[in-house]
Chain A
Amino acid sequence: MPEIKTYTEPELIRGLVQHDNAAYEYLYMNYRGSLYNIILQLIPNKEIASDVLQEVFITVWQQIEKYDENKGRLFTWLVRLTRNTAINKLRSKVYKSESKNESLDNYVVAIETNNPDIENINRIGLRKQVHQLKEDYKNVIELSFYNGFTQEEIANSLNIPLGTVKTRLRSALIELRKQFV
């Protein structure tokens, strides 16, 4: 493998926009670990998760022009893209047929298995911290961040006012952030 050059964020973004291969290699090598970790929090099957990881980087290649530096950092954009790609996969028919035996219909997915190809999603990364929050907070983050439901959809499914969902989600995320430091 050729030597990998290091980039500042603006240099990296420029390289990505120019579709410079070295910039994409750097992006992949630097962010694959955290993005793959996020995917595994949603999709425990490593084979499917690595397909999603590939899809994420191809999407970056195809849609980098849509990234707007004024709206946020590159990593924030990558996390959104990764989460959306994983949620799309979770909801796809193909995924549902590939993972029939992994009760994903319910949002609380608890996979008790010793299979090394399957990660226990509740014990990885951020999701592990989410599961340490109190029940109300945990549920609202589970439904929104990990299952892609809108605040309105959560209000409807839990039969609580939208205002309550907002307050709960905001408080939950403030609590979660305390664990970032």
Chain B
Amino acid sequence: MDIKQYISSGIIETYVMGLCTAAEEKELELLRSQYPELNKAISACEEEMEQHMLRQTTLPSADTDKRILDTLTTLKKPASIVQMPLRKRNWLKNIAVAASVLLLISTGFNYYLYRQVKKSGSAGSNTSLPLSDYKVLLDPSITPVAMYGVGSHAICRCTMFWDKKTGKMYIMIHHLPQSSAAKDYQLWAIVDGKYINAGLVKDEIRGKFIEMSNIPPGATAFTVTLEKAGGNSAPTIEETYLKGVI
């Protein structure tokens, strides 16, 4: 590898602007760990771009500033939930991290669909994807955990997707009644028979795949209860809506 030639080929500029193909990005990231001069050249390019772009500013209106700053101060720590958009089409640029997370989510979804199809013998009305997709996206490391409605909430459904390799857990709500403003649904992981808070399940996540970021290790079952807004330190068992066992 003629690293000097590689550095001056324009690949660095393409990478910094986020316009590489996935293969180019992979190659560059591998090479940068081997060639310090490449790393240096990337940093130099980033700094130049930053300096240049920081000089080109247009300020939003004072109202916009106030609105955004106010919004930022009201956001709660996403310790419980990191909301990820659904992967819709392939035209999004491949940002390595986003893409890999989306792929995981999509894989989980397709595995879930695959299982549903296998179970029911036919694709459901709103989950019909070409059958060929199921095989391709089947990832054996992802285990779906079906959660069923409890007692009078028998109609409620949700699925959690557990990635054994990474330990990551994703959730998708299929049916859960809207909570009132004064209430929030809360997810609990059961570890050694004890309920551990695993974050809030907000109304706005319906129909989306969400990564739950604070699942404790060793969880063997999950429940969703209805609690006061913001959640509780211990579950209100009589308000259990969903339950699922790994």
Contact = CB atoms under 8 A, between A and B. Distances in A.
A151 to B, nearest CB: 5
Interface in A124-174: 124-126, 144-145, 148-153, 169-171, 173-174
A99 interface: no
Contacts of B78: 19, 61-62
A5 interface: no
A148 B71 contact: no
Interface residues of B, number: 54
A155 B29 CA distance: 24
Contacts, number: 157
Interface residues of A, number: 60
Interface string A80-121: 100110011001000000000000000000000000000100
16 contacts: A28-B68, A28-B72, A54-B64, A63-B82, A66-B98, A68-B97, A72-B42, A80-B95, A126-B53, A144-B19, A148-B91, A151-B19, A170-B10, A173-B14, A174-B10, A179-B52
Interface of A: 19, 21, 24-25, 28, 31-34, 36-38, 40, 46, 49-50, 53-54, 57-58, 61-63, 65-66, 68, 71-73, 75-76, 79-80, 83-84, 87-88, 91, 119, 124-126, 144-145, 148-153, 169-171, 173-174, 176-177, 179-181
Interface of B: 9-11, 13-14, 16-19, 21, 29, 42-43, 45-54, 56-61, 64-65, 67-69, 71-73, 75, 77-78, 82-83, 85, 90-98, 101, 213
